[in-house]
Structure 1
């Protein structure tokens, strides 16, 4: 009877929640229920760090009225005794799509590269949609809410997960008994961004990560211009962006590198994003910490690979194996470094996986207090709702969990999840715990019965002697049903009965195999030993492989450090007028070449005996596409606004391989998908540094232009983007430079102007502040490009590829342009059919500065041999040939005062070769950048052995996972894409 009265009271309480106080009450006699409910004698987590033993939680009308160890109770209070149980604040998910209709992909079809918007009165790019409001697409989903409630969540923050600027979110209480009038806690809870285009919009731009970043930069600049009243037209997108700038700003990054990229966008615009991470933040924790951002971390850990087949196991990279092993440490590492983060089930296939991974994170060292904060107080803080959610302080919503004990103990049962004072029963809290060890005697035989698992969902194991028998169990509302079959399977015993609270034994009706009904009693020998509980509290953390820099197979356990070094008795290729010096010493101090000569004093420097070896400056590749996450932004015919510096990939194995070939510096170029490409990144190949650490300090400014088949789209299916002919390519240049000239004149005049990043870059070219590296093949277009440049008062810096350069070498010399070319590439497409291997030598003979470049990750490792070909094809001297991969590319990149030769005062970017560097038999034994050895042949051999050992150890761990019955995934080969000029 008491239960019935209590339920009715709760119903009346809920009724007050779902009505609104200004609705007329003229339908019969009505009365509001203002009863209180007191939950007493519980261990109450008011916050993760404020815990009350034997406390009382008093609620009324969906809110916390009071909480404490001694709370005065009003007369109209219903008391619930929770002796031995615990109360926690319900969880909050900051990053959800709950209840919000998500756009469906419009399917295949060609995207349109137009500049013009398809939506009148909105931003010019269709993927910028800050005007979208999730509340407009919201419909409460009871089925989805039930799954979240059973996992412990009381509130979720949802949004339309589509586009680059996504609009606002909606914060919802998971109150199945309420209505949207009280469930919707905030209909503009946050503003959202990502790096991914809309699945519904057909505008092609951006086609790359660097394009998305450039678009965001321009969007913020335009929003500022618009906010100052400079626009003559209405833009509802920019109005919404500016209107929402006071909200929490959440950025979906989903990767440690993108975390940093997003933070840079925020910093440039005075915004501190809350960042949805990727789970791999532990790999670059110092840089992540330096963002000062709060993070939302998905608990999505990879499953072990099924490596039982040794051949298939070979497909799995050490990087992927290691990530499986290390990923569960991510929350712990974030907590250890004082980074504020919340946890989310984002992209998990089931909520059961969320609980499993949460327990795993704790097993791997995440403190339970931090875990609770990440699910309660931190998400509330991120959303600016700390007074209402994530705690059980006076005035907060009555969103709380009732559990059998420690919520992060695997054996704990979640009984109820109250949301806005509405009870949701997950498991009956009055259910008797029947787990333990029993003796059962039937027909003269004794069986051992072991009941384990969760209190509400027990598991049973029946044995006769040592033989395990097939068995089943069901336990609901204190009614127990279980059965088992004998080893032969010919006899099945079925039992059913109510579980009485007064006894530890189990008894009830028994149906024998022959159908006869009788009674049984299972005598309890001992209680359940909570092995899972002791495991979860254990300090025995699973073995985790150490992080390396970068965190891939050939990464270093510690970043290499600068050394003072004296190379003794080397054959020194200076790439200067001094030529090749025999038996010469080179002293390196503080990252610089400080002295060159014979019999130098080491002065405390490390001495390397280079007798019989050759020392050169590091090779410089003027045209490279390694170490990038994208190469082409192909959405428009000009993408001067994009930056290769935005997409540097410091973990690309091409860096290590190139160091092994003696390469120390590269120009990372945009591809050739459009006439005006993106800005270059000039890098030093400092293996183990983060992306920004690879970029040259005070780097000269470069941009990639392109001519020929690629930009007029001869070799890829596109008929919707201008230009389609070589004539059209010229007109693109003329049009953009004229616009840039007019833009620059207006800017210099002091008139108000709309900042345009693309035209800013092109104006830098006209003003001589930025240099062009131009992809080129045929002489007609080479001539055209030089004439366009001369018309606008600048010169082209470098023609790269330029396989018909030998035809116009005199004109190139007159214009003052250099050349980066291949040694002997030919006939890989129509416009290279006139290529000859004497090209480099002929251009050099006419006074053109010539470099041999790679444009290919494999060729990059043997540029020394490519340079040697000019000796055969053109009769160049060894030193002239060597200059083509050292000082000449340094000159083309305007870095010859810093690198490219062995000269006192220059950076110590050096390579020690086993023999003549132009020989196919010579190896780079040491490759040094600024006095730091980034490749060492002896260390490389040791690393290979260490990799074998680590792989074997990880494979053993994975085999143990499979043997233990844990789910595994099929082996897969995940290799990074190797880009070329034409990669889209």
Structure 2
């Protein structure tokens, strides 16, 4: 241990000369005396950059900038020498995602239904139509120095911050500032450092958008509008679009809430030629490959979840396996991202207070992150990302003198930051001359022996002392300053005090003072060894090192929730032998038949087949069918309704597919292999649907049914009018059923005009909403219409015929039996419920014979779920067509397989068992429409996504994993870890009329 007395830094200012290079345009009131700030810091270990460290270095700075770093250099003439022997010097950290100096966010955000809708922006001026788009926000204009927040950031080691207003979808430009406290002019390093975006509309009270898909549509339309606005002579002025255009050359930083959001943002960026920098969510480790493929640099947060308090065994049941897994693995996210070769930087954003950064980064390092990579992620990485690496990030010549002084390596040890220098100005956080005390000492005072124990941080340390061999201790009043240790203590409850002064001597201290009787006594203190011959802190490090080597108790699966798969399924060559095969083709139901699948397709169907290298499955007594297809589903979606406008044809359900919805797996267990994910019924013209295969463990994009025709959801009836929402909501048109027809008429007329203008080569603003509707008129997109009553069904068919297109499918259609003949003539299919009725007024005349009667009239008929639970037993729903109406078993089975495939125009690929079709198959243990039937195996594209036997063994493994994680949680709590109250994260099941929150 090295100790020395250092000069007061105040002298450095008094002895400095003048600095002409520090002149500003501001006048000076009084005698001008600007110090040069010429210093030489000697004896420290200077970490010039993550790649370069200089031992016993001399760091010189002048005029707020670094002049040199040399090993063992001499102090230049005229420089104030500052002895930092035994200390470490690092470049100050750079916060790349801050809000320092920004005004508070005002506004109520989302409005409740009782407030009524806000249809238009309330932002005054020639700005964007939507107040969540704020590209004109200029952080440099908003910035003011906040001394309290600056102090907190400096204490964490930051010297520079990229700050922006965290409000809205487009949040405008960021400004880079230092944490000095001079003037706003001097601390502002860079204006327009980056353009910030998010999926959060922020304080905007405007209704649109109220969903993630609406936000994405608004972003896409803004890109198109800004491009169009910039290319033509305009009849309007839009300051927001002008600002948007000016920001496009800057780094584009996009904040997301999950790894899926990162892929959603990247998809938008790819469409418009933008490579976003992603402010991540901390769960990137769950999907490293697609995130790496995005090409994005990630800004990783360090706000790891606190330990769940699972002491109460029943409260512990609220915590999901996914939550426990994330608690354990979140600190390893940085290491995982780095190992995958994904570029990253770090942010303190999200932490309760900036100084929590140090414990968090040590957790990340303990979980495998390399210390030099963490240093780079807080210094050189942010500097390069923001285009300020010529000014900050390292301690190279010519850069700002932004650095911190610590007693040890803060990345691996609990270090003290003594000073943070910003632009060559010192901010003292702890007394630089505080002594480096050990945890415990053997103390001799005269002839008496004591044991002293030290706790706390430098500047706020406490000491207890007890007679050798005695456990009774008393507090010591002591101070440390200028290299001198001053102590005052009374060994027992009675008697006088010892008063001691001591100075460093080797590893300990020696000195003298007065005893209780006033006589002179000698004093010595020697660091106390641990019982195994090592220092206590060394022993502690050893224990921590051994703990570091413990493997994860959790598993990483795809998705990383309960019943996630350990790896992605592979295409298999499988021969099913001796099954009852429901072909849905002319061959009908074949007994004791073999089916061979290979390369993801059905290869052969016949008797006594053989195939070299195939997995043989004895299906004797079992039934093999094509996978169930649900024409109307809302599973695996973040949102279901963008119901804020009469038409939201521009939104896409594919943008909000949620690949980690456990209902995907549950429905695989019920034999479902394909679903159409529909928009809800909150408006007459809803959003574009997504047809996807239930490829459990894949990304949302990988789940899409490639090559399928595009569809869109329309809606009729009570839901779309919103007229029963109360007086405050009688604003949005339409409020009546006849108004619904006028909406359709108006929008199709506009779409037709839009198409004529495009075809004529006119300079038409590209409109995503009208483009989707034009595709309907051109038979390129097809309608699935939410419907109940016969009058509205007739209305929509007649309107379609006036505009020369056909309604593809009426879904729900519980009065379809009344108009089945007209539907058959029009060419519309009917996707209905098996036996729902009387659950609201407009379905009071529904009957369970509806499906059979439509089928009898020649309508292509199917049964859908519109419900996550019902979809798990659509096989039994099909049986109700046999019960109610006498439909044959073979035809009833088609209600949930081949007929929905035909409705979705994918029957050339799925819906039946025929050579050349996709190997989407289900093996049942019994007649597929029996209440006793269970799906034993479910295949999609020849890959097995559900196996009931493996499901049972996986359940036992999950119980063991869960218990291991609970034990780890209890152990962490026992060691003093911060805890949080268990809270469940159960999924809200979505339906047609679900409102977004």
- Does TM, normalized by the shorter one, top 0.5? yes
Please state how far the C-alpha of 1:94 moved relative to its aligned partner.
0.7
Task: Measure, in 2, the Cα distance between the counterparts of 1:474 and 1:980.
Answer: 68
Match of 1:217 in 2: 220
Please state how far the C-alpha of 1:442 moved relative to its aligned partner.
9.3
Q: CA 1:826–1:432 in 2, change beyond 3 Å: closer, same or farther?
A: same
Task: Measure, in 2, the Cα distance between the counterparts of 1:859 and 1:119.
Answer: 49
Normalised TM-score (structure 1): 0.95
Task: Measure, in 1, the Cα distance between the counterparts of 2:328 and 2:870.
Answer: 35
Match of 2:770 in 1: 759
Match of 1:742 in 2: 753
1:883-922 correspondence to structure 2 within 5 Å: 883-922=894-933
Please state how far the C-alpha of 1:542 moved relative to its aligned partner.
4.2
Is the CA contact (8 Å cut-off) linking 1:168 and 1:190 kept in structure 2?
yes
Task: Measure, in 2, the Cα distance between the counterparts of 1:750 and 1:549.
Answer: 48
Is the CA contact (8 Å cut-off) linking 1:409 and 1:536 kept in structure 2?
no
Match of 1:670 in 2: 679
Task: Measure, in 2, the Cα distance between the counterparts of 1:227 and 1:519.
Answer: 86
Please state how far the C-alpha of 1:53 moved relative to its aligned partner.
2.3
Is the CA contact (8 Å cut-off) linking 2:490 and 2:498 kept in structure 1?
no
SS of the equivalent of 1:710 reads: helix
Q: 1:378 aligns with which of 359, 376, 381?
A: 381
Task: Measure, in 2, the Cα distance between the counterparts of 1:571 and 1:100.
Answer: 69
Q: 1:43 aligns with which of 35, 38, 45?
A: 45
Match of 1:773 in 2: 784
Matching of residue 839 in structure 1 with residue 850 in structure 2:
yes
Q: How many residues in Structure 1 have an aligned counterpart in Structure 2?
A: 975
Structure 1: which 5+ residue stretches go unaligned?
none
Task: Measure, in 1, the Cα distance between the counterparts of 2:496 and 2:318.
Answer: 49
Matching of residue 157 in structure 1 with residue 148 in structure 2:
no
Cα displacement string for residues 860-917 of structure 1 (whole angstroms, at most 9, x for unaligned residues): 0000001101111000111011000000000000000000011111000000000000
Match of 2:95 in 1: 93
Please state how far the C-alpha of 1:481 moved relative to its aligned partner.
6.0
Please state how far the C-alpha of 1:11 moved relative to its aligned partner.
6.3
Please state how far the C-alpha of 1:295 moved relative to its aligned partner.
1.3
Match of 2:532 in 1: none
Structure 2: which 5+ residue stretches go unaligned?
530-534
Q: 1:628 aligns with which of 622, 633, 637?
A: 637
Q: 1:228 aligns with which of 225, 231, 237?
A: 231
Matching of residue 574 in structure 1 with residue 562 in structure 2:
no
Please state how far the C-alpha of 1:412 moved relative to its aligned partner.
2.8
Match of 2:36 in 1: 34
Please state how far the C-alpha of 1:50 moved relative to its aligned partner.
1.6
Please state how far the C-alpha of 1:685 moved relative to its aligned partner.
0.3
Task: Measure, in 2, the Cα distance between the counterparts of 1:727 and 1:384.
Answer: 58
Matching of residue 543 in structure 1 with residue 551 in structure 2:
yes
Match of 1:972 in 2: 983
Please state how far the C-alpha of 1:714 moved relative to its aligned partner.
4.4
Task: Measure, in 2, the Cα distance between the counterparts of 1:262 and 1:804.
Answer: 42
Q: 1:415 aligns with which of 406, 418, 427?
A: 418
Is the CA contact (8 Å cut-off) linking 2:446 and 2:522 kept in structure 1?
no
SS of the equivalent of 1:672 reads: coil
Please state how far the C-alpha of 1:43 moved relative to its aligned partner.
1.9
- The worse-fitting range, judged by mean Cα deviation, of 708-717 and 850-859 is 708-717
Please state how far the C-alpha of 1:203 moved relative to its aligned partner.
1.3
Task: Measure, in 1, the Cα distance between the counterparts of 2:519 and 2:991.
Answer: 79
Q: CA 1:14–1:324 in 2, change beyond 3 Å: closer, same or farther?
A: farther
Cα displacement string for residues 803-844 of structure 1 (whole angstroms, at most 9, x for unaligned residues): 000000000001000011000011111111111000000000
Please state how far the C-alpha of 1:772 moved relative to its aligned partner.
0.4
Task: Measure, in 1, the Cα distance between the counterparts of 2:16 and 2:150.
Answer: 20
Please state how far the C-alpha of 1:549 moved relative to its aligned partner.
0.6
SS of the equivalent of 2:80 reads: strand
1:538-687 correspondence to structure 2 within 5 Å: 540-544=548-552, 545-687=554-696
Q: CA 1:709–1:791 in 2, change beyond 3 Å: closer, same or farther?
A: same
Please state how far the C-alpha of 1:105 moved relative to its aligned partner.
2.9
Task: Measure, in 1, the Cα distance between the counterparts of 2:634 and 2:216.
Answer: 19
Match of 1:342 in 2: 345
Q: 2:136 aligns with which of 111, 131, 135?
A: 131
- The worse-fitting range, judged by mean Cα deviation, of 18-27 and 571-580 is 18-27
1:231-270 correspondence to structure 2 within 5 Å: 231-270=234-273
Q: 1:302 aligns with which of 283, 287, 305?
A: 305
Cα displacement string for residues 649-684 of structure 1 (whole angstroms, at most 9, x for unaligned residues): 111000000000000000000111111000011010
1:167-206 correspondence to structure 2 within 5 Å: 167-176=172-181, 178-199=182-203, 201-206=204-209
Please state how far the C-alpha of 1:117 moved relative to its aligned partner.
6.4
Task: Measure, in 2, the Cα distance between the counterparts of 1:493 and 1:204.
Answer: 75
- The worse-fitting range, judged by mean Cα deviation, of 429-438 and 535-544 is 535-544
Q: CA 1:960–1:18 in 2, change beyond 3 Å: closer, same or farther?
A: farther
SS of the equivalent of 1:279 reads: coil
Is the CA contact (8 Å cut-off) linking 1:495 and 1:508 kept in structure 2?
no
Match of 2:832 in 1: 821
Cα displacement string for residues 773-816 of structure 1 (whole angstroms, at most 9, x for unaligned residues): 00000001001111111111100000000000000000000100
Cα displacement string for residues 105-145 of structure 1 (whole angstroms, at most 9, x for unaligned residues): 33756363425664331111111110011222222011111
Match of 1:75 in 2: 77
Q: CA 1:833–1:455 in 2, change beyond 3 Å: closer, same or farther?
A: same
Task: Measure, in 2, the Cα distance between the counterparts of 1:867 and 1:673.
Answer: 28
Normalised TM-score (structure 2): 0.93
Task: Measure, in 2, the Cα distance between the counterparts of 1:209 and 1:69.
Answer: 56
1:445-464 correspondence to structure 2 within 5 Å: 447-452=450-455, 454-458=457-461, 460=463
Q: CA 1:588–1:152 in 2, change beyond 3 Å: closer, same or farther?
A: same
Is the CA contact (8 Å cut-off) linking 1:680 and 1:704 kept in structure 2?
yes
- The worse-fitting range, judged by mean Cα deviation, of 127-136 and 651-660 is 127-136
SS of the equivalent of 1:596 reads: strand
- The worse-fitting range, judged by mean Cα deviation, of 822-831 and 77-86 is 77-86
Cα displacement string for residues 349-384 of structure 1 (whole angstroms, at most 9, x for unaligned residues): 122322111110000000001000010000101100
Q: CA 1:321–1:57 in 2, change beyond 3 Å: closer, same or farther?
A: same
Q: 2:954 aligns with which of 943, 968, 974?
A: 943
Match of 2:64 in 1: 62
